[in-house]
A and B are shown apart, each in its own frame.
Chain A
Amino acid sequence: MDQAQQLLLEQKVDGILRIPPDFVRQLSQGHADLQLIVHGGDANRARIIQGYVQGAAGAWSARRAAQGESAGVTPVVLQTRMWFNEANDSTYFLVPGLIVLVMTLIGGLMTAMVMAREWERGTLEALMVTPVRSDEILIGKTLPYFALGMIGLVACVLAAKFLFHVPLVGSLWVLLGASMLYVLVALGIGLLISSWVKNQLVASQLTMLVTFMPAFMLSGFMFDLRSMPAAVRLITYLLPARYYVALLQSVFLAGDVWSVILPNALVLAAMAAVLALGSHTMMRKRL
C-alpha cells in the first residue's frame, strides 16, 4: 500500500484499486466491495475516474448476471445520450470557447492599445484640429481592427473545422453576424478604457482584466453559469462574452436555435449601441 501511495504522489498512477483478500469468498456470498482510492488534487479528474470504474463494475455485474453466475438484475439502467456531442469530445466546447477568447483579444486589447498610444503621445489632439470629425476619427481608428477581427474569425473557423474537426451545424451567416456584434462590443470596451486611462500600460492591464480573464472564467466557456452564486451570476450578465459563448456553442454544435440566438444577439446589439454612444460622448468631452 505504501508503494501504491508513493506512485500516486509521484503522479505515476491516477488511482489505486484495492481488492480485499477475501474478495472471492464475499462474492460467492452475493456481494463484494472493491476499494478505489483516487487523488483528490484534481477533483474533476478524480470524479471522472470514479465514473469510469463504476461503469466498468456495472458492466461486469451485468455480464455475470447474463451468464447466470449471480442472481438479480440491475433495476434501473441509465441510457444516456449526449446530444450535440455524442462522443463526449471536449474539443467540441473548447474550440468555440477559444474563438471567443481570440475575438476578445483582437477586439478589445488592440483597440485599447492603439487609442491609448495616441492619447499618450498627444497625436489625437493633433487629429482633432484637422477637419476630420470626431466620429470619423473613431470609425477610422476602429475599422482596421474590426477587419482584423473578421480575418481572425475566418482563420479560427477554418481551424475549428479542418484542424479540430468541430462540426459547424448552424449557418455561417448567423456565426458571422454574431461575431460582428461581439467584435463591435469588444472594440467599444477597448475604446472606452483607452480614452479613460490614456496610458498604454494601464490600458493594456485594465483591458486584460475586464475582458480576457472574465471571458475565460465567467463566460460559461469553462464553468457552468447556473452553479455560480447569485452575486457572481449577476456580474456575468454584464459580460458580453457570456452571450457570445452561448451563441457560438449553439451555432457550432446545435444549429440555428433561434430561441438561443435571438435573445443573446439582442443583448450584444444593445451593448454595442450603448458603447458606441459612450465612446462618442467620451471623445467629445475629452477634447
Chain B
Amino acid sequence: MLNSLLRILALTRKELLAVLKDRRSRMSLLVPPLLQTLIFGYAASYDLIHVPYAVLDQDRTSASQQLLAGLDGSGIFQRVADLTRESDLAPCIDSRRALLALQIQPDFERRLLSGESADLQVIADGRNSNTAGTALGYLGSIVEQFNADWRSSHGLPPAPLGIITRAWYNPNLETRWNMIPGLIGTLTLIQTMMLAAMSVAREREQGTFDQLLVTPFRPYEIMAGKALPAMAVGSVQATCVLLVAQLWFHIPFAGSYLTLYAGLLMFLLAAIGIGLLVSSVAATMQQAMLYSMLLIMPFSLLSGMTTPLSNMPRPVQYFTDINPLRYAIDITRRVYLEGAGLHLLWPDLWPLALIAALTLAAASWMFSHRME
C-alpha cells in the first residue's frame, strides 16, 4: 500500500516536471486563465449598454418628442439616424447601423389626446435574436414609464394591473453575476481535460509508454499518477479564476469556499476521467486532441452557461447529463449566489462522482488491455 502510494507520488512528480519544466508550457497554464477571466468577464454579459436606434418620427409633436426624450435620456439608447422616409428604415437595419428602428405615425399625439391607443412600430434586427429581445425589453420598460407619466399628467386612471418584480439572489439582474462564476468551470475544463487527454497520448507517441508499462507500476497507479498532476493544475487554474472574480469583479459570494472546492474537485476528477479515457483510446496526440475537441465543444456550448438547458430539445438535454461542466456551473452559481450547502448540491455531485468513477475505471481497464 505504502509502496503503491510512493510510486504514485513519484509518477506525479515526474508528470508535473514534464509539464512545468518548459517555460512556455508553464506560462500557458497560468497566464491564460487570468487573462481570459479578465477579458471574458467584461465581455460575457447580456446586459446592453449601447442600443443604437433609428427613428422615423412622422408626427413631430410634443408627445412624440417626449417619448423619444425618454429613450435618449436612458443613457442606453443612442439615436443614430433621424429618418424622413419610410424606405430609409430597412437599410438602417440591414447594414446593422441600428439595432432598432422606430416609426411614429402621423396621428400619434392626436390619438393619445383623444384617449385612444397609439401604436409605436418597432423593427428589431433579429440576426441575434437574443440581443434584439433584450433591447425590446428595455424599450418596453421605457414605454411603460411613458405611459404611466402620460396617464398621471392627463388625469387618466392608472393601468388596472401592475407587476412588481423582485429578483432574488441577484437584485439588479446583472448577468455578470452568473457569467463569471460560470467561467470558473468553463476555463478550467478546457485545459485540464486536454492536459489529461494528451498525457498518455504523448507518452505513446514518444514510445515511453511501453517503458512505463514494463516498470512495476500497476495500471491504476499509472492512471493516478496522470490524474493527480492534472488535478493540481486544474485547482490552481480554478483558484486563479476565483481570485479574479473576487478581487477584480467583486462578485458577491454567499456560500462557503469549502463547499465550492469540494464541488470543483469532484468536477475536475470527472473532467480528468473523461480526458484519460480519451487518452487511452487515442494513438497519437493529434487524435487525442481531436477527440477532446469533439467533446469540449459541445460540453462548453451545452453547459447552461450561455443558454438555459431547459430550452434545449429533449435529446440534447439527455446529452447534457454526461456533461461535467453542466454540473460544475450549477454548483458554482448556486454556491456563489444562493450560498447553497452540500445537501442542496447533491443532485449535481452524485452525477459527477458517477462520471468520474466510470471513466476512470474504463480508462484504467483500457490501459492494461491496450498494450501495443
Known: A34-B163, A43-B167, A60-B161. A226 touches B130 (CB 8 A): no
With most chain A CB atoms within 10 A of its CB, the pick from B46, B47, B161, B285 is: B161
B115, B128, B147, B157: which contacts A93 (Cβ < 8 A)? Answer: B128
Q: From known contacts A35-B166, A38-B168, A54-B140, infer whether A73 and B307 are also in contact, taking CB-CB under 8 Å.
A: no
Residues in B neighbouring A114, C-beta threshold 8 A: 286
Quick check: A80 and B161 within 8 Å, CB to CB? no
Query: Which of B119, B162, B167 is within 8 Å of A33, CB to CB?
Result: B162
**Which residue in A80, A218, A227 is a CB contact (below 8 Å) of B47?**
A227
Chain B interfacial positions (CB closer than 8 Å to A): 22, 24-25, 28-29, 32, 36, 39-40, 42-52, 67, 91, 93-96, 99, 112, 115-134, 136-137, 139-140, 143-144, 146-147, 150-151, 156-171, 173-175, 177-178, 187, 190-191, 194, 198, 202, 285-286, 289-290, 293, 297, 300-301, 306-308, 311, 333-334, 337-338, 340, 344
Contact (Cβ within 8 A) B45 A223: yes
Evaluate contact between A74 and B159: CB separation under 8 angstroms. yes
Partner of B285, one of A84, A102, A200: A200
Contact of B40 among A37, A217, A250 (CB under 8 A): A217
In the bound assembly, the distance between CA atoms of A246 and B285 in angstroms comes to 34
Pair A260/B167 contact, Cβ less than 8 Å: no
> Chain B contacts of A222 at CB under 8 A?
44, 130, 306
Contact of B126 among A45, A85, A199, A204 (CB under 8 A): A85
Residue of B91, B94, B171 with most chain A CB atoms under a 10 A cut-off: B94
Q: Once the chains are docked, how many angstroms separate the CA of A186 from the CA of B180? A: 28
Query: Can you list 23 residue pairs at the A/B interface with Cβ under 8 Å?
Result: A31-B160, A31-B161, A41-B170, A50-B163, A51-B133, A57-B161, A71-B157, A72-B156, A73-B115, A80-B124, A83-B93, A90-B311, A117-B286, A201-B202, A202-B24, A216-B300, A217-B43, A224-B46, A226-B48, A227-B47, A250-B127, A253-B127, A260-B94
Chief secondary structure at chain B's binding surface:
helix
Question: Which residue from A9, A73, A88, A199 sits with its C-beta under 8 Å from B338?
Answer: A9
For B96, the chain A residues whose CB sits under 8 A away are: 246, 250, 260
Query: Which residues does chain B contribute within 8 Å of A39, judged by CB atoms?
Result: 167-169
| A61 contacts B160, C-beta separation under 8 Å | yes
Q: Is B157 touching A72 in the complex (CB atoms < 8 A)? A: yes
Majority-rule SS of A interface residues: helix
Rounded to whole angstroms, the CA-CA distance of A101 and B302 in the bound complex is: 14
Within 196-250 of A, Cβ neighbours of B (below 8 Å) are at: 197, 199-202, 204-206, 208-209, 212-213, 216-218, 220, 222-224, 226-229, 231-232, 235-236, 246, 249-250
A225 CB to nearest B CB, Å: 9
- The complex places the Cα of A196 from the Cα of B118 at a distance, in Å, of 63
Contact between A227 and B48, CB atoms less than 8 A apart: yes
Question: How far, in angstroms, from A117 to B206 measured CA to CA in the complex?
Answer: 11
B38 CB, nearest partner CB in chain A, Å: 9
Identify the 10 closest CB pairs spanning chains A and B, nearest first: A40-B170, A85-B126, A40-B167, A82-B126, A259-B95, A43-B173, A249-B127, A226-B50, A84-B126, A43-B175
Which chain B residues lie closer than 8 Å to A232 at the CB level? 39, 42-43
Distance in angstroms between the alpha carbons of A227 and B179 in the assembled complex:
15
B46 with A44: CB separation less than 8 A:
yes
Min distance, Cβ A191 to any Cβ of chain B, angstroms: 15
Task: Tell me which residues across on chain B come within 8 A of A70, comparing CB atoms.
Answer: 157, 160
B340: chain A residues at CB < 8 Å are: 9
- Complex CA distance for A53 and B340, rounded to whole angstroms: 28
Q: Which residues of A contact B118 (CB under 8 A)?
A: 75-77
Q: Indicate if the CB atoms of B158 and A92 lie closer than 8 Å.
A: no
Is A165 in the interface zone, CB < 8 Å from B? no
> Quick check: B286 and A200 within 8 Å, CB to CB?
yes
By size class, the interface of chain A is 35 or more
- B159 close to A61 (CB less than 8 A): yes
Residues of B within 8 A of A82 (CB): 124, 126, 129, 132-133, 136
Judge whether B94 and A85 touch: CB under 8 Å: no
Q: Which of B127, B163, B198, B307 has the most CB of A within 10 A?
A: B127
**A47 adjacent to chain B (CB < 8 Å):** yes
Assuming the A-B contacts A31-B157, A60-B161, are A85 and B170 also in contact, with contact meaning beta carbons closer than 8 angstroms in the complex? no
* Contact status A224-B131, CB under 8 Å: yes
CB contact under 8 A between A80 and B22, given known A88-B129, A260-B96: no
Is A105 interfacial (CB-CB < 8 Å)? yes
Smallest beta-carbon distance B323→chain A, Å: 16
B286 contacts A89, C-beta separation under 8 Å = no
Contacts known (A31-B159, A77-B119); A41 close to B334, Cβ less than 8 A? yes
A282 to chain B, nearest CB (A): 16
A30: which of B140, B157, B165 is its contact (CB, 8 Å)?
B157
Check if A86 is an interface residue, CB within 8 A of chain B. yes
Query: In the complex, how many angstroms separate the beta carbon of B129 from the nearest chain A beta carbon?
Result: 5
Q: Which residues of A contact B36 (CB under 8 A)?
A: 209, 213
Inter-chain contacts of B168 with A (CB < 8 A): 8, 37-40
**B163 engages A202 (CB within 8 Å):** no
Contact of B161 among A61, A94, A105, A217 (CB under 8 A): A61
Name the CB-closest residue of B to A233: B43
In the complex, what residues of A have CB within 8 A of residue B123's CB? 80-81, 83
Contact of B137 among A36, A47, A73, A202 (CB under 8 A): A47
A257 at the interface (CB under 8 A from B): yes
CB distance from B124 to the nearest CB of A (A): 5
Q: Which residue of A lies closest to B40 (CB)?
A: A217
Residues 86-145 of A at the B interface (beta carbon under 8 Å): 86, 88-90, 92-94, 98, 101-102, 105, 109-110, 113-114, 117
